Structure 1
Amino acid sequence: MSITEGNIIRAGFSAELDQLRDASQNGRKWISDLEQRERKRTGINNLKVGFNKATGYFIEITTSNLSRAPKEYIRRQTLTNSERYITPDLKEYETLILNSQERVNKMENEFFVQLRSDIAIHAAERILDTAHALAEIDVYQSLAEVAAKQNYCRPVLNNEDTIHIVAGRHPVVEQAQPDIPFIPNDANLSNHDAQIGIITGPNMAGKSTYLRQVALTVLLAQIGSYVPAETAVIGIVDRIFTRIGAQDDLATGQSTFMVEMVETANILHHATPRSLIILDEIGRGTSTYDGLAIARAVVEYLHNNKRSGARTLFATHYHELVEVAQILPRIKCLNVAVTEEAGQVIFLRKIVPGGADRSYGIHVAQLAGIPRPVIHRAEEILEELERKGDAKMRRKTMRDMTMPVAWQMTLMAPEAHPLIEELKELAVDELTPIEAISKLYELQQKARKDS
């Protein structure tokens, strides 16, 4: 109901408003009775009393009965098959009804505005507090209901650096496809062991779903919800960074690849060892070699740079990246299991250890309806490319490539230098000038001895 439609103020609130309503209602009753009275008086059985916004109230008589129209009827409008009339009494009641209704609507609106102002002055804070409390209860009730219905578990939150999820599920996908059993998957990440998970596998196999479900599980746990898993132990994260999807930004003139690089740069600049990073395909917006080079450099940076050594899940089609796991100890390779039956690819949706060696892109293209001649030609081209061994050479290059000296030193260096730790613990404000000079000399001697 809109406030302009009236009847929003109850009867008895205002005597003046009640009188205007009575006048309007009495006038409407008089008009509703008019039709029967005039039919009886004139003998015209199809005589009608109507109303429209353009002409107001009228009496309508068909052309065949015009000779029986009383002389006091005043012609108002001529139609194809009828004439419309008014009478002095009808005009008087029309004025009464319309004026009364207009005043009723105006008074009701004034009362409503005044009531709204009074509430804002005297009760706004209580209403807002009530709304906030109801909203909070609504959130808790919704989370509890979905947890009970979908068999969620209570996560364990701690200050460790481990994310351990057993039989995790995607809370949205499993509900969006109720007729298809959702395949649960485990997740294990930790800064000291499995810091980075490189996930390979074909398109449509479930890599992106897996990335998202891990991020959503961590998010749900940290807002106080149960999570879609059998068990979950979550080392608290400070932020969740994501680089997912491919899109350009026409408004600012940024290409798909530029958007991808800007988002990746933001992650590398701001991630901490407490963060969780979700990377879905880095470098696919440029050439194969450029993309592979950038992807590997990002992985090395996240692994070796202590300031941004965040727990990371990295889905990629650059299968050569799995070779990096032989060089960097905290990288674990995962892939989405598939099987082939009668020349058809079947996605098992299961995350298993190890790297994938095929993308099955042509099979996915076939599922998408690409014409048969195109599929056959693609298979011929792929066979020729694989025969030349370009992919094998890239794998060998990735495996044999050495890391920058600075990163090697970062990787192998001790956690902290004793002199740095001593300086951190030094209460400078409590030292006298003589004590400060003496301490500085002592630290200098230690530094020379260490060098």
Structure 2
Amino acid sequence: MAAYTPMIQQYLQVKADYQDAFLFFRLGDFYEMFFDDAVKASQELEITLTSRDGGAEERIPMCGVPYHSAANYIEQLISKGYKVAICEQVEDPKTAKGVVKREVIQLITPGTMMEGKGLADKENNYIASVTAFDDQVFGLAYNDISTGESKVTLLSHNFDEVLNELSVLNVKEVVVASNFSAELQKKMRERGVLVISFEDNSSIEMNFARLLDGLDQEPLKQTVARLFHYLFRSQKRSLDHLQPVTTYQIHQYMKIDYYSKRNLELTETIRSKGKKGSLLWLLDETMTAMGGRMLKAWIDRPLIDRSAIEHRHTIVEVLMQHYFERQEIREKLTEVYDLERLAGRVAFGNVNARDLVQLKHSLMQVPFLIQTLQGLGHEAVKQIADQMDPCEEIADLLEQAIVENPPLSLKEGNIIRDGYNPELDQYRDASRNGKNWIAQLEREERERTGIKSLKVGYNRVFGYYIEVTRANLHLLEEGRYERKQTLTNAERFITPELKEKEALILQAEEKIGELEYELFTQIREIVKEYIPRLQSLAKAVSEIDVLQCFAQVSEDRHYVKPQFSRDRRLMVKDGRHPVVEKVMNAQEYVPNDCIMDHEREMLLITGPNMSGKSTYMRQIALTAILAQIGCYVPASEAILPIFDQVFTRIGAADDLISGQSTFMVEMLEAKNAIANATKNSLILFDEIGRGTSTYDGMALAQAIIEYIHNRIGAKTLFSTHYHELTVLEKELTQLKNVHVSAIEQQGKVVFLHKVKEGPADKSYGIHVAQLAELPDELITRANEILSKLEKPEDIEKVWTEERVPNKEESAQLSFFDEPASVKKQEPSSKERKVLDHIKSLDLLDVTPLQAINLLYELQKKLKC
């Protein structure tokens, strides 16, 4: 350390406290990075790596970015999961003795972004803390520092619930204790958490104790305290916009696990991971960023309280009945900026004058919103209007104080209106009149000397001056002008009058800048006192924005108001998949009915690929979710139960990160549904068992159907290609067969996309392959094989006459009749035992699943 220069020693001392972050070390107009930070940053940011002498024998790696464009580089690093510590000069270089004092003024992390492109307008940016109290109880708190929202809950089953919550919230950073399980940290990273940070302090401090007043359990307080300690320590500035922490329980909402949310494409699509094509994309007719975030939160957490759901439906109905008023509301909402994040920026101290002008314009729309809502004449709508606080005092203050088009920088001046502050007006008068005096002086000097090219100018080094070309110097009056600067073709002079006026003008301009900044900070502090009122207003505006959005979509897409049954009956008439319908021409979409009651708890759905089985299943789930978030549903009539949970197993995808195969993922998702579903849940299983051998898959599928039917009783839609399972309708009283119909015309399949009663008569697999334009030769051969497989007496020829078996293949047991030459051979003792076992069985007393398992055991004995 002693070998380095004092500046590098200072850098290393600061860096020691921020080992897990890039240290942006301010030197003049640049943020510099040294040593390993420089090497890594040059690679990640694709900037030049240089070196400098730091006092040691070897030169020190170095790279840097200009401070005025640092935000873009910081965002790049944050998006890749890094942290950035901003180290600024905290001492005036003119008064410093030795190296200028520097300190880290803020730690920017993926979970603490306050502004920038990385902060999506219609998405929250959550940071969470997780505290383990024992193997089965975990505390989870989360906060969006840009809006001040904070919530906390206790999860008492297993860590999968924690992972599910982190996924639903799309948490980017998690704060844990330093001794938190490494295995659980690994699971969080696998689920998409970018950064895991450490904080061991979970004590209650005075600076945030007021935020915990509503918490009555010590584990909840500890979990939130850990998060707040990290936030206050890393941000090093006012967080007065943090809202009181609220508690919630996951069973208060419809539970949709991570896999089901992904399979149903609620907020992003499976293929592109983008918003377009998701349910959120379909619904998002919100006019404000706040409303967009609330809409996403509602989709993530549908309600299960019937009265709360119907309250939303009532307001949507009122808004649908008042088209013109709804359009007025939408028009006013377009002029409302992000009040939540504006309040956060005010508290954080990074708000600028343009932000405050946006705040003023937003507040000016509130009285019109209140008037329009109250004019609808409905009590439920009036309650929302009553929650809207116009904050007239702030709107009036900003109207009087801030000019309409202020500059971005707070140091440039021209922010405060004339007439707001008498002292500022005096300085401005001096500055403006002084400049007028300068112009008048230039005219007088030209007349006095007769020099038409004489001019009065200004620069920062010499101040004001009178400039005369060399050719005209002889015209100047002796003794009146004092030479100030010599140029190649001119001389610059100053007079006593000009010198005196210069002092007055420059002093006024300097005072104007200082006073304007001082007045702006005073205004900001006044606005800061209104933050709780602004946050309350933001919630009310967001709510009406989401509800008008539901009304708009429901009217445009011809949705209907759902009714809720108390006997768990489900009846959807002419139901549609909302997203598929929007992507397709609505006139081409084929609607379908779905009826389920105590005699039809399960639907076993058969039909060819591409016929619409998965779409049909998804549309039932999406209809239930739409109804329970408070929106109308895509149908001509809908009666629904209120579901407590939705489980899906749709699609096939390896989980490569966790090293799990498609079949393992399928089984884990099935297990999650079977272990957690209740009779009030909705289960969608698509092609369960296809990831393994035919008999294994069929056996598992039947066992799962029987278990759900006999043990759980949940509403279940189960699609399959195992046509053998359709016989279960005779054995399971609450299971019914339905199929998605298709017809064959001129050797080609035509999908009708219509769901009908009964099982499908054909799978049309080869026809689908033909639609995919596989080679004609291949299609012809597949049809030949199929025609023989469908005739039991010809199956043997497919596998013997038309193939040349090798020795290993000929030694394998055939499932079909053996050739005549083989039949003449006497069975071995091992085969005789198997045959005797078969003869002793009472096949009438064996279930299909037992038969399949028995066949498997016999095959194993013959192969041994």
Give the number of the structure with larger relative contact order, counting CA–CA contacts within 8 Å between residues 6 or more apart.
1
Pick closer, same or farther for the CA change 1:106–1:348 going to 2, 3 Å: same
Which one-letter code corresponds to 2:613 in the other structure?
Answer: K
Q: Which residue number in structure 1 is paired with residue 634 of structure 2?
A: 228
Pick closer, same or farther for the CA change 1:179–1:189 going to 2, 3 Å: closer
The structure whose Rg is larger is 1
Gaps of 5+ in 1: 58-65, 77-84, 406-451
Bigger mean CA offset, 129-138 vs 181-190: 129-138
Deviations 1:309-340 (Å, cap 9, x if unpaired)? 10101122333322322322221111211223
What aligned pairs does 1:213-224 form with structure 2 within 5 A after superposition?
A: 213-224=619-630
Q: Which residue number in structure 2 is paired with residue 312 of structure 1?
A: 716
CA contact (8 A) 1:163 1:235 kept: yes
Q: 1:134 pairs with 538, 541, 551, which one?
A: 541
Structure with the higher helix share, 1 or 2: 1
What aligned pairs does 1:156-171 form with structure 2 within 5 A after superposition?
A: 156-171=563-578
C-alpha separation in 1, matches of 2:472 and 2:847: 106
**Shift, 1:265, TM fit:** 0.7
Q: 1:153 pairs with 560, 572, 579, which one?
A: 560
Q: Which residue number in structure 1 is paired with residue 589 of structure 2?
A: 182
**Partner of 1:251: helix, strand, or coil?**
coil
What aligned pairs does 1:159-308 form with structure 2 within 5 A after superposition?
A: 159-178=566-585, 180-190=587-597, 192-305=598-711, 308=712
**Shift, 1:245, TM fit:** 2.8
CA contact (8 A) 2:738 2:757 kept: yes
**Shift, 1:188, TM fit:** 1.0
CA contact (8 A) 2:427 2:509 kept: no
Which one-letter code corresponds to 1:111 in the other structure?
Answer: Q
For the pair 1:377 / 2:778, whether they are aligned, the reply is yes
CA contact (8 A) 2:430 2:504 kept: no
**Partner of 1:332: helix, strand, or coil?**
strand
Identical amino acids, percent of aligned pairs: 41
Which one-letter code corresponds to 1:243 in the other structure?
Answer: R
Deviations 1:28-60 (Å, cap 9, x if unpaired)? 9999999999xxx9999xx9x999xx99x9xxx
Q: Which residue number in structure 1 is paired with residue 526 of structure 2?
A: 115
**Shift, 1:16, TM fit:** 4.4
Q: Which residue number in structure 1 is paired with residue 517 of structure 2?
A: 106
**Partner of 1:107: helix, strand, or coil?**
helix
Deviations 1:394-450 (Å, cap 9, x if unpaired)? 9xx9xx844679xxxxxxxxxxxxxxxxxxxxxxxxxxxxxxxxxxxxxxxxxxxxx
Gaps of 5+ in 2: 1-353, 357-407, 445-449, 464-468, 474-482, 796-814, 816-842, 852-864
Coordinate RMSD, CA, aligned = 4.9
C-alpha separation in 2, matches of 1:210 and 1:272: 22
**Partner of 1:325: helix, strand, or coil?**
helix
**Partner of 1:254: helix, strand, or coil?**
coil
C-alpha separation in 2, matches of 1:98 and 1:224: 58
Pick closer, same or farther for the CA change 1:100–1:330 going to 2, 3 Å: same
Which one-letter code corresponds to 1:113 in the other structure?
Answer: R
C-alpha separation in 2, matches of 1:178 and 1:20: 66
**Partner of 1:144: helix, strand, or coil?**
helix
CA contact (8 A) 2:431 2:505 kept: no
Deviations 1:337-373 (Å, cap 9, x if unpaired)? 12233333322111111222443344434444x4x52
What aligned pairs does 1:64-83 form with structure 2 within 5 A after superposition?
A: none
**Shift, 1:108, TM fit:** 5.6
C-alpha separation in 2, matches of 1:260 and 1:361: 22
**Partner of 1:135: helix, strand, or coil?**
helix
CA contact (8 A) 1:362 1:379 kept: no
Pick closer, same or farther for the CA change 1:299–1:119 going to 2, 3 Å: same
Q: Which residue number in structure 1 is paired with residue 738 of structure 2?
A: 334
Equivalent pairs counted in the alignment come to 379
**Partner of 2:578: helix, strand, or coil?**
coil
CA contact (8 A) 1:282 1:295 kept: yes
**Partner of 1:250: helix, strand, or coil?**
coil
CA contact (8 A) 2:699 2:849 kept: no
Which one-letter code corresponds to 2:665 in the other structure?
Answer: V
C-alpha separation in 1, matches of 2:721 and 2:588: 26
CA contact (8 A) 2:428 2:509 kept: no
C-alpha separation in 2, matches of 1:68 and 1:142: 76
**Shift, 1:221, TM fit:** 2.7
Which one-letter code corresponds to 2:539 in the other structure?
Answer: H
CA contact (8 A) 1:199 1:315 kept: yes
CA contact (8 A) 1:169 1:228 kept: yes
TM-score by length of 2: 0.37
CA contact (8 A) 2:604 2:720 kept: yes
Pick closer, same or farther for the CA change 1:252–1:14 going to 2, 3 Å: farther
TM-score by length of 1: 0.66
Which one-letter code corresponds to 1:336 in the other structure?
Answer: V
**Partner of 2:605: helix, strand, or coil?**
strand
Deviations 1:81-100 (Å, cap 9, x if unpaired)? xxxx99999x9999779856
Pick closer, same or farther for the CA change 1:342–1:28 going to 2, 3 Å: farther
Which one-letter code corresponds to 1:244 in the other structure?
Answer: I
